[in-house]
Amino acid sequence: MLAKRIIPCLDIKDGRTVKGINFVGLRDAGDPVELAKKYSQTGADELVFLDITATHEKRDTLRELVRQIARHLDIPFTVGGGVRSVEDVAMLLEAGADKIAINSAAFRNPQLINDLAKRFGSQCIVLAIDAKQEAGEWIVYLSGGRTRTEKTLFEWAKEAQDLGAGEILFTSMNHDGTKQGFANDALRQLSEQLQIPIIASGGAGTMPHFKDAFEQGQVDAALAASIFHFGEINIPDLKAYLHQQQIPIRL
């Protein structure tokens, strides 16, 4: 069985790492370069960098900051935020990204997923989906949770897989920043319906939450931000715990 992955996430606004609850109330969480160095040195399996206001502000991802962070990493590095074209992806890969997360632009132009997969390979393309549970349905939102669509999480994820996405990064807007655990029922549905890896995001607060995501949600990776940034959980301790719980993990 493939080892499960632990992924810290740097949500970036104005060049700083930030974290909120349910996508609002952002507070400063530190210097992204220093955090990236720490995670690379303390056992993170990958690192995700999301420029969370790039799409809303209609600007490109912070290329120079990506370059600075990439210099300090020896783990896979996924970058997203404001990615709209093949040219954007080529620029970020050149700056040091290993994978690219796409979200709003892919929803508005699904052919972009196919174009990117053909040019760079599916393994390079992570489709990020932000969704909110409303009256029993998981509804997709765009532009950092600002814009509601009429499409459900499951139909959009399946469509993206068929177009060539290599992974799905699903963030539950209901769970984001609440530290009450991941959206395991929805994650399990995704895992059962798709053939590509699923990354859980939104809701991590304790070590057992990660165990639940891997066992109940059946995900391939679990992503978290504030609990790592503010030292509430250390990655080596988390991995030791998961290993004790018989979760396949790289120590």
d(CA 92, CA 89): 5
Q: Is the pLDDT of residue 20 over 80?
A: no
| β pairing state of 77-80 and 47-51 | parallel
Interval 232-242: pLDDT, tens: 999 999 999 99
Interval 23-78: pLDDT, tens: 555 667 678 899 999 999 999 999 999 886 655 554 555 788 899 999 999 999 99
Give the model's pLDDT for residue 211: 98
Give the model's pLDDT for residue 64: 84
**What confidence tier does 13 reach under pLDDT thresholds 50, 70, 90?**
confident
Give the model's pLDDT for residue 147: 92
Give the model's pLDDT for residue 156: 98
Residue 195's Cβ-count burial label (10 Å; 0-12, 13-18, 19+) is: exposed
Rounded mean pLDDT, 142-166 = 95
For residue 140, what are its two tokens? Answer: 């997709």
**What confidence tier does 19 reach under pLDDT thresholds 50, 70, 90?**
low
Which of 64, 53, 111 is CA-nearest to residue 86?
Answer: 111
Interval 115-138: pLDDT, tens: 999 999 999 999 999 999 999 999
Interval 77-119: pLDDT, tens: 999 988 899 999 999 999 999 999 999 999 999 999 999 999 9
Q: Which CATH architecture has domain 5-244?
A: Alpha-Beta Barrel (3.20)
Angle CA 170–176–180, to nearest 5: 110
Evaluate if pTM is beyond 0.85.
yes
With b for 16 or more beta-carbon neighbours within 10 A and e for fewer, the 51-83 pattern comes to bbbbbbeeebbbbebbeebbebbebebbbbbbb
> How many residues are given for the chain?
251
Q: What is the mean pLDDT of the chain?
A: 91
Q: Domain ranges for the chain, please list them.
A: 5-244
First to last CA, the chain: 15
Which of 57, 85, 48, 53 is CA-nearest to residue 170?
Answer: 48
Give the model's pLDDT for residue 22: 60
Give the model's pLDDT for residue 112: 97
Interval 161-219: pLDDT, tens: 999 999 999 999 999 888 999 999 999 999 999 999 999 999 999 999 999 999 999 99
Q: Is the pLDDT of residue 244 over 70?
A: yes
Identity at 159, one-letter amino acid code = E
Give the model's pLDDT for residue 17: 79
Catalytic residues, which ones? 11, 130
Please answer whether residues 15 and 30 qualify as being in contact, where contact means their C-beta atoms are separated by less than 8 angstroms. no
Give the model's pLDDT for residue 62: 76
